[in-house]
Amino acid sequence: MKQSGSVQQTLRHTALGLTDERAVEMYKTMMLARRFDERGQLLQRAGKVNFHISGITQEPSQVAMGFAMDLKNDWFLPYYRDYGFVLSLGMTVKELMLSVYAKGEDPNSAGRQMPGHFGSKRLRIVTGSSPVTTQVPHATGFALAAKMRGEPSVAIVTFGDGSSNQGDFHEGCNFAGVHQLPVIFICENNQYAISMPLAKQTRGRICDRALGYGFPGIRVDGNDPLEVYRVVKEARDRAVAGEGPTLIEIMTYRVTAHSTSDNDLAYRTKEEVDLHRGKDSLPVYRKYLEDAGLWSEEQEVKLQADIRATIDEGNEYAEKAAFQPVEDAFRYVYAEQSGEER
């Protein structure tokens, strides 16, 4: 296929060190996350699962984050909307479906927690908990351990704009700044903390808070995944070089309700949501690949069919899988005693 458009436009990924194959794989992962998210909403509406929390339109920036990291050495502490992020780290649709159905084989929590509480020892994804922002100080702990051991690993932690107002955020940033830790703090600013708009919860730019802790803060357009990739990659390079943490504020928008238990039109208008839905960067990135001669309509048709089959397979498997046995309800809750009881 011939390239069209300006060379500067179509070769942005090459300038960032991304091969053509990796640039295309980013798009495939974004689309997989989108279709999985859509299926999760349908399953909840059909009464097959109890709960779903969506990250639609945030997938391009989430995938870009994952592609900028070292999957073999880094530590990942995602928040509950990060389907695109965890898929880019190697989590499978089947594993996510097991979580949605709360089945015993769910690698995240064996069905103990709601969907979105990601965790995988295999993928170096640190288990998350329900209280928001607790993953931030945990990330600084992983970064401190890496620094003490002399390991070339970086901890990356994500959270929403509402979390940036919690004490755990400030404590984590302060500790990381004092000790110059290899950690990347990423605020996925989607303009709402559950039902509270940004203007009523935050004064000024969240990224500017980094100045008070002695490290860089950067704001980036979440509708530009290649720019997100660049910024996160540079932050990782800084961290590995011993230059300390970075706070990145990704400007995005939540076009879906906070969760399937939320009526978002009680606190915002349909016109506002539709405006932002029209800024969806997924078709924009597809157009970029087409202009670069890396994607075609034929490839798109095949991709959609492959994704549909993958999701169908994962859904069928998870729906038939067994729940965790009742006798295992307290497994991992209490430590097993060894030796003589005292």
pLDDT one-digit tens code per residue, 253-302: 999 999 998 999 999 999 999 999 999 999 999 999 999 999 999 999 99
Which residues are designated catalytic? 254, 258, 267
pLDDT band of residue 6 (cuts 50, 70, 90) is very low
Q: For residue 338, tell me if it sits in a domain.
A: no
Is-contact 292 27, C-beta < 8 A? no
pLDDT band of residue 340 (cuts 50, 70, 90) is low
pLDDT band of residue 333 (cuts 50, 70, 90) is confident
Q: For residue 324, tell me if it sits in a domain.
A: no
Pick the residue with more confidence: 312 or 112? 312
Q: For residue 285, tell me if it sits in a domain.
A: yes
Overall average pLDDT of the 185-211 stretch: 94
pLDDT surpassing 50 at residue 1: no
Question: What tokens were used for 98?
Answer: 């097991």
Residue 83: how many other CB atoms lie within 10 Å:
30
Cα gap 130→134, rounded to integer Å: 9
Q: What is the pLDDT of residues 226-240, one digit of tens each?
A: 999 999 999 999 999
Q: For residue 8, tell me if it sits in a domain.
A: no
Buried b (16+ CB within 10 A) or exposed e, 277-312: eeebbbeebbebbbebebbeeebeeebeeebeebbe
pLDDT score of 329: 78
Residue 181: how many other CB atoms lie within 10 Å:
25
Domain hosting 141: range is 16-319
pLDDT band of residue 4 (cuts 50, 70, 90) is very low
Cα gap 37→53, rounded to integer Å: 8
Residue linked to tokens 């980094």: 210
Is-contact 207 248, C-beta < 8 A? yes
SS3 state at 239: helix
pLDDT surpassing 90 at residue 8: no
pLDDT score of 17: 96
We report the CATH number of the domain holding residue 298 as 3.40.50.970
Cα gap 169→132, rounded to integer Å: 10
Overall average pLDDT of the 235-253 stretch: 98
Cα gap 126→100, rounded to integer Å: 18
pLDDT surpassing 70 at residue 72: yes
Q: For residue 7, tell me if it sits in a domain.
A: no
pLDDT band of residue 7 (cuts 50, 70, 90) is very low
- Radius of gyration of the chain from its Cα atoms, rounded to whole angstroms: 20
Q: What is the pLDDT of residues 146-193, one digit of tens each?
A: 999 999 999 999 999 999 999 999 999 999 999 999 999 999 999 999
Q: For residue 298, tell me if it sits in a domain.
A: yes
Task: Please state, rounded to an integer, the average pLDDT across all residues of the chain.
Answer: 93
pLDDT surpassing 80 at residue 3: no
Is-contact 52 106, C-beta < 8 A? no
Cβ-proximal residues to 55 (8 Å cutoff; 6+ apart), any chain:
33, 37, 62, 81, 82, 83, 84, 254
Overall average pLDDT of the 119-145 stretch: 95
Q: What's the domain count of the chain?
A: 1
Q: For residue 275, tell me if it sits in a domain.
A: yes
Question: What tokens were used for 255?
Answer: 């076009």
Q: For residue 149, tell me if it sits in a domain.
A: yes
pLDDT surpassing 80 at residue 341: no
